[in-house]
């Protein structure tokens, strides 16, 4: 559904009124289905290391293994989206995520931890290829960028509330507190299956066949102008961003800054509060501006956040360390409000309908490359006490990302770069077929 920008009312109410019925269903439970993820996300490395007794290096490697599996499976998931539709791929990912959360709750041995990594890796591999393709079949035009931003804010609301609750509940001396959270996550991640088997069973997310369309292949999508550079900047920003939020940041906060698990929970709470409170404000300010320029601003913001985290390591175990760690989460969240409306919209505004699954899968895989490298880098550097080098690597990655964005801006079309008045590719596939 393509709604012109001048027909979308202001604020949350205007956005909700312009959404099609299918979009409202999908958004209505995003926060709830991510609540369990928020309870486990900040504490998975802590759980593996301090509860199950794996070394910090091994714990970081296990987190990276999930991303490796997801990156390997992602291209197959993307091809499945283009062939059978996003609906079936999203449902399969939810089931795999549920089984993986159960396995992680029982991961007292390395083989069980490896099984959990396999299941969760496969689930993560379906993520963007399925869900972003499903979203893109429902909304188009200016609504698409707004939808990605709002979806991200709600996702983080669930994660942040979950982080607050988990920070007050978990106790490294009581493994059952961690196990209960993983089991709750296993239930909540099945919510999309409920919608897609019920009121949204007609939203298959599959393009109609066309004899004139270029054959779908990964070679074809890599030939699209600037897409390879978009994948590169996605991988690099993931390495210095989200790849660290699950592993590097909690590990730094606990082992270098010496803050409590409650402080780690507050870090994620502050991160979420900024995203939820400012996402609509940021969406309004960035609409019509070049997405590459918006992302340059976010890199500067992230540089400040890494500086704050680095300073916390200079005053370990103090109130100042706690405040700096929490401030890191807040400032990092401001940058996130600019990232998630930008990259997914660039990918989907440049994607032909019959190759949308592959293009979202390629974007997901590039993101997961960073999720592979991030925990491994953090585990190796922080495990050896090289905190200063760790922070330096993050800042260097931001500088390299800025150079990539300059390359992208010279190549991609104004439509893909979010210039006001340009019309992105149309969406299809919201009816049963």
CA 67 to CA 155: how far, in whole Å?
Answer: 20
- Residue 118 located in a structural domain: yes
What pLDDT is stored for residue 3 in this prediction?
Answer: 52
CATH number of domain containing 355: 1.20.1250.20
What pLDDT is stored for residue 72 in this prediction?
Answer: 85
- Residue 5 located in a structural domain: no
What pLDDT is stored for residue 99 in this prediction?
Answer: 95
> What is the pTM assigned to this prediction?
0.74
**Host H or E run for residue 17:** helix 11-18
- Residue 217 located in a structural domain: no
Residues in CB range of 41: below 8 A, 6 or more apart: 159, 162, 163, 245, 246, 268
Number of domains in the chain: 1
What pLDDT is stored for residue 7 in this prediction?
Answer: 52
The backbone region for 226, taken as left when phi is positive above 0, alpha when psi lies in -120 to 50, beta otherwise, is: left
Domain span at 65 = 23-208+222-411
Per-residue tokens: 220: 């074809």
- Residue 13 located in a structural domain: no
What pLDDT is stored for residue 127 in this prediction?
Answer: 75
Give me the phi and psi of 140, to 5 degrees please.
Answer: -145, 180
Q: What pairs with residue 174 in β-bridges? A: 171
CA 197 to CA 37: how far, in whole Å?
Answer: 22
State the distance between the two ends of the chain, measured CA to CA, in whole angstroms. 18
CA 39 to CA 165: how far, in whole Å?
Answer: 7
Helix residue spans in 106-248 (DSSP H): 110-138, 142-169, 175-188, 191-197, 218-222, 227-239, 242-243
- Residue 314 located in a structural domain: yes
Per residue of the chain (433 residues), give pLDDT as tens: 555 444 555 566 777 777 878 878 878 778 888 888 878 877 888 888 888 888 887 887 887 788 788 878 888 888 888 888 888 888 999 999 999 999 999 988 999 999 999 999 899 888 777 888 888 788 776 677 788 888 888 887 887 788 778 878 888 788 888 888 899 999 999 988 888 888 777 777 666 655 556 677 788 888 888 888 999 999 999 899 887 887 789 889 988 999 987 888 788 778 888 988 888 888 878 877 888 999 999 999 999 999 999 999 999 989 999 999 999 999 999 999 898 788 888 888 887 877 888 888 888 888 877 777 887 888 888 888 888 999 999 999 999 999 999 999 888 888 788 776 544 444 444 443 3
- Residue 334 located in a structural domain: yes
- Residue 427 located in a structural domain: no
- Residue 204 located in a structural domain: yes
């Amino acid at each position: 559904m393509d709604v012109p920008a001048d027909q979308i009312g202001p604020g949350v109410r205007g956005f909700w009124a312009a959404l099609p019925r299918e979009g409202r269903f999908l958004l209505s439970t995003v926060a709830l289905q991510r609540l369990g993820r928020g309870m486990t996300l900040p504490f998975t490395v802590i759980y593996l290391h301090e509860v199950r007794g794996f070394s910090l290096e091994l714990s970081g490697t296990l987190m990276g293994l999930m991303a490796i599996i997801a990156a390997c499976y992602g291209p197959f998931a993307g091809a499945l989206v283009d062939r059978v539709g996003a609906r079936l791929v999203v449902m399969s990912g939810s089931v795999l995520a549920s089984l993986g959360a159960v396995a992680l709750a029982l991961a007292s041995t390395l083989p069980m931890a490896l099984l959990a990594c396999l299941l969760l890796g496969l689930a993560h591999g379906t993520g963007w290829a399925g869900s972003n393709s499903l979203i893109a079949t429902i909304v188009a035009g200016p609504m698409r960028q707004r939808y990605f931003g709002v979806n991200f804010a709600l996702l983080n609301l669930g994660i942040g509330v979950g982080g607050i609750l988990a920070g007050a509940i978990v106790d490294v001396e009581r493994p059952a507190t961690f196990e209960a959270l993983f089991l709750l996550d296993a239930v909540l991640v099945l919510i999309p299956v409920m919608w897609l088997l019920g009121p949204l069973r007609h939203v298959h997310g599959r393009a109609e066949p066309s004899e004139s369309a270029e054959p779908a292949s990964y070679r074809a999508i890599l030939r699209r102008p600037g897409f390879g550079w978009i994948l590169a900047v996605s991988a690099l920003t993931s390495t210095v961003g989200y790849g660290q939020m699950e592993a590097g940041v909690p590990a730094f906060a606990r082992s270098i800054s010496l803050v409590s698990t409650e402080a780690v929970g507050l870090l994620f709470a502050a991160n979420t509060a900024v995203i939820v409170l400012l996402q609509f404000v940021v969406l309004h300010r960035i609409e019509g501006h070049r997405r590459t320029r918006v992302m340059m601003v976010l890199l500067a913001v992230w540089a400040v956040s890494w500086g704050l985290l680095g300073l916390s390591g200079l005053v370990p175990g103090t109130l100042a360390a706690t405040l700096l760690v929490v401030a890191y989460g807040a400032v990092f969240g401001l940058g996130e409000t600019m990232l998630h409306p930008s990259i997914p919209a660039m990918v989907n505004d440049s994607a032909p309908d019959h190759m949308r699954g592959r293009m979202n899968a390629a974007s997901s895989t590039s993101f997961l490359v960073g999720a592979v490298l991030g925990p491994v880098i953090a585990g190796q550097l922080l495990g050896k006490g090289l905190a200063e080098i760790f922070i330096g690597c993050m800042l260097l990655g931001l500088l390299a990302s800025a150079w990539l964005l300059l390359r992208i801006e010279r190549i991609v079309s104004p439509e893909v770069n979010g210039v006001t008045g340009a019309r992105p590719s149309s969406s299809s596939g919201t009816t049963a077929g």
